[in-house]
Each structure stands twice: as C-alpha cells, then as structure tokens.
Amino acid sequence: MRRLFSYVIVALLASVPLWLGDPYILNAFITTGIFTIAAMSLNLLLGYTGQLSLGHVAFFGIGAYVSALTSLGFDVELFEGFHVVHEPWPVVYGFLLAIVFAGLCGYLVGKLSFRVRGAYFVIVTISFAEVVRLVALNWVELTQGPLALTSIPPFTLGLPGLGYVNLYGKAGNYYLVLGVGLVAYIVIKHLVQSRIGRAMIALKENESLAVSIGINVTAYLVLAAVVSAAIAGAAGSLYAHYLRIIDPDIFLFLYTVTMVIMVITGGKGTLAGPVVGGAIFGAIPVIVRSFAAPEVQWILYGAFMIAIIFVLPQGIVPAIERWFPRGPIKQPRVASQSAASVE
C-alpha cells in the first residue's frame, strides 16, 4: 500500500514539467527540490544519529563552490610566485568532486567536532559554517568574494542517441534534480534500514548501551557526517549549475535554518519527513509572494516551526503514521519450531 503511494507520488512529480506552464513555480520546484535533498542529508545527521549539526550549509556551499570552480577553472597565487592553475573541466567532474570534497570536509568536521557534545557541538558547527563563509567572502582571488562566481556552465549530460545535452532549460534541470533526489532518497533508505543504520539509531537513543554491544560510536558518527556532507555537496553542485551564479551568501545561517525547519516539521528520523517538510516550506514563498513582502515568508517559517514543535513535536509524518500503522513483523516459519523456549 505504501509502495503504491510512493510510486504514484514519483509519477506525479515526473509529470510536472509536462503540464506546468508557469516558469516561476517550476523554478520554485527545482530550488525546493535541491534544498530538500540537502534536508534529507541533514536528517541523516540530525534525525537518525541525533546530532544537531547547525553548520550543514557549509557542506552545501562547499559543494557548490567546488563544482563551480572545477568547471570554470581558476588561477590563484598561494604564496610568492607559486601559482595553482586549473583548467576548466566538464561539469560532471565538478559534481563528483563536490561530493568527494564535501564528504572529506564532513570527515574532518566529524572527527573534530564529535569530541564536544550537546550545546557546544551546535556552537562549533555554526562557527565552522561562519568561518567558511568569511573565507569565501575574503579569498577574493579564488572565489570572487561578494562579486560572485558567474557564468557557471550548466550540466552537460551525454544521452545515448541524443548526443550531449546542455541543461539550460528548466525542464532538464527539473528532471536532473528529481533524479538525484530519488537516488539520494534510496541511498539514505538503504543506509538507515541496514545494520549500519541501526547502529546510528542505537547510539542516538542510548550511547552507553550501544557501546556495550560493540558499536563504535565515534566511527559511526563520523560515517554519518561523511555521507550526510557528501549528499549535501551534491545538492550544492546542482544549485551552482542551475542558478549559474553563486556568492558567499550561500553560506548564510538562514539556509541551514531552512533545512532544519524542513527536517523538524516534516519529522526528523523518518525518510519521508524532509520531503514533506520540503514541500511545505517550498510552497510557502510561492503562496505568500503575491500578497506580502518576503520577510513575511520567514516570519511564517519561524512561527510555523514553533507551532509544530508545540503541537506535533515529532513532526508531521510520525503523526500521519499513527493513523496508518505498519503491521506486526512476520515471523519466519523456520525459527518458531527450533530452540526450546524458557516459558
């Protein structure tokens, strides 16, 4: 039943560019989709592993810049007379490098940050994102600073039979985002429903107990950070090549807040949560734009988040799941006849 529902949703989403004429709304779909992917990756860290990392936008932005710079090429002088020159590469390499680089940053941040916990961890992660923003703002030679990186080439995909396609148009980008989104969703699903996922959820719930049965807490926290950062980096790359212009504002705290809101209101620790949250918070600006200033959008975001925390603290998806519960676990015939029980 749930499976069918998922397929219907995906089919519906796939059909959108075919009937949606308004480019503004299609654009909203695309950017919302990109942020939803980032939200899904944050959910891995926040929802499943229980780490309130509020610097997530750093990975998103790093992915964007790495991808853009790889495809644009650059020439920087690291110190006296020593230049690092990079020739432009195809966008696909930028995408892959964004994933790798962001994942690497996730590893470093994970290894360093998980030494502190609780509120201090939150503060460290926010600080990390701010430092990255300031670097992007000030290392003008590499990043153009506030003048922004412009003319970023769009994605180029080689399709069999059709040759190379440059995704300048919205429809192409829409399908690209949808495709990456589905892959990300499936990868995350595989991860959280596996032995590794169970270890992450266990250490969130009771760390001492998890450790006593052999779960290496630090290793799994770092793993979650790496996978989470890598996916965020992928989303960042999509963003850079869709908008084709990025500036250090991409690292602003309010983008992390957007992702956090999507995860929390949708339902942290659930697969569908970030998607539902993404849909709602992507829709709000579209609905609001016609009658109110952009600030109102954010006020609604904040108010809505507070309301959800007060009313449905687990988020929307768990509340819905309470109405459509899963059935009991099926017992395999083999085991029930073996091993005498103590009862």
Partner 1 sequence: MTGAPALTIEHVAVHFGGLVAIADMNFVVNEGELLSLIGPNGAGKTTAFNVITGFLKPSAGEVRYRGTSLNGLKPHQVASLGLVRTFQRTSVFRAHSVFDNVLTGLHLSGRSTLLDTLLRLPRERQSERELRETTWDILHLVGIGKHAHEQAGSLPYGDQRLLGVALALAAKPSMLLLDEPVSGMNASETGRFMRLLGKLRERGMTILLVEHDMPMVMGVSDRIVVLNYGRIIAEGEPAAIRENPEVIRAYLGQAGAKRAAHA
Partner 2 sequence: MAEFLQHIANTLILGGTYALLGIGLTLIFGIMRVVNFTHGELYTFGAYFIFLVISVLGLNFLLALPVAIIAGLLLGALIELLLLRPMRDADIDTTMLVMIGAMIVMQNSEQLVWGGVAKSVSTPFPETPLVMGPVSVSYLRAFVLLMALLLIVATYILINRTKLGKAMRATFQDRDTASLMGVNVQAIYTATFAIGSSLAAAAGALLGPAYVISPHMGDIASLKAFAIVILGGLGNVTGATIGGFILALAEELGAGYVSSGYRDAMGFLIIIAVLLIKPTGLFARAERIG
Among 81, 290, 324, 331, binds partner 1 (CB under 8 A): 331
Say whether residue 299 binds partner 2 (CB under 8 A). yes
122 contact, one of partner 1, partner 2, none, CB 5-8 Å limit per kind = partner 2
Name which of residues 234 to 293 contact partner 1 (CB under 8 A). Answer: none
In the list partner 1, partner 2, none, the entry touching 264 (Cβ below 5 to 8 angstroms by class) is partner 2
Which residue among 10, 16, 100, 257 contacts partner 2 (CB under 8 A)? 257
Q: Does 322 bind partner 1 (CB under 8 A)?
A: no
- The reply to whether 309 sits near partner 2 by the rule CB under 8 A is yes
| Binding partner of residue 195 among partner 1, partner 2, none, CB cut-off 5 to 8 Å per kind | partner 1
Q: If contact means CB under 5 to 8 A according to the sort of partner, which of partner 2, partner 1, none does residue 215 touch? A: partner 1
Nearer to partner 1, 47 or 55 (CB): 47
Member of 28, 52, 165, 196 binding partner 2 (CB under 8 A): 52
Site string for partner 1, 31-60 (x = CB under 8 A): ------------------------------
Report if residue 96 touches partner 1, rule: CB under 8 A. no
Q: Which of residues 201-240 bind partner 1 (CB under 8 A)?
A: 201-202, 205-206, 208-209, 211-217, 223
Rounded to whole angstroms, the Cα distance separating 342 from 300 reads: 57
- Name the residue nearer to partner 1 (CB basis): 227 or 275: 227
- Give CA–CA dist 294/282, Å, rounded: 13
Q: Which stretch binds partner 1 (CB under 8 A): 72-80, 195-203, 236-244, 310-318?
A: 195-203
Which residues, 6+ apart, have CB-to-CB distance to 138 below 8 Å?
Answer: 145
313: exposed, middle or buried (Cβ count in 10 Å: 0-12, 13-18, 19+): exposed
Residue indicated by tokens 């080689």:
158
Give the binding-site size for partner 2 (rule: CB under 8 A). 37
Show contacts with partner 2 in window 76-135 (CB under 8 A): 112, 115-116, 118-120, 122-124, 126-128, 130-131, 134
By CB under 8 A, residue 147 contacts partner 2: no
If contact means CB under 5 to 8 A according to the sort of partner, which of partner 1, partner 2, none does residue 158 touch? none
Binding status of residue 223 toward partner 2 by CB under 8 A: no
Using H for helix, E for strand and C for coil, what is the string for the chain? CHHHHHHHHHHHHHHHHHHCCCHHHHHHHHHHHHHHHHHHHHHHHHHHCCCCCCCCHHHHHHHHHHHHHHHHCEEEEEECCEEEEECCCCHHHHHHHHHHHHHHHHHHHHHHHCCCCHHHHHHHHHHHHHHHHHHHHHCHHHHCHHHCECCCCCCEEEECCCEEEECCCHHHHHHHHHHHHHHHHHHHHHHHCCHHHHHHHHHHHCHHHHHHCCCCHHHHHHHHHHHHHHHHHHHHHHHHHHHCCECHHHHCHHHHHHHHHHHHHHCCCCCCHHHHHHHHHHHHHHHHCCCCCHHHHHHHHHHHHHHHHHHCCCCHHHHHHCCCCCCCCCCCHHHHHCCCCCC
Q: Which residues contact 81 (CB under 8 A, 6 or more apart)?
A: none
Partner whose footprint covers residue 336, from partner 2, partner 1, none (CB < 5 to 8 Å by kind): partner 1
Q: Is 302 in the site for partner 2 (CB under 8 A)?
A: yes
By C-beta, is 152 or 192 nearer to partner 1?
192
Amino acid at 55: G
Q: Which residues bind partner 1 (CB under 8 A)?
A: 187, 190-191, 194-196, 198-199, 201-202, 205-206, 208-209, 211-217, 223, 328-329, 331-332, 334-336, 338-343
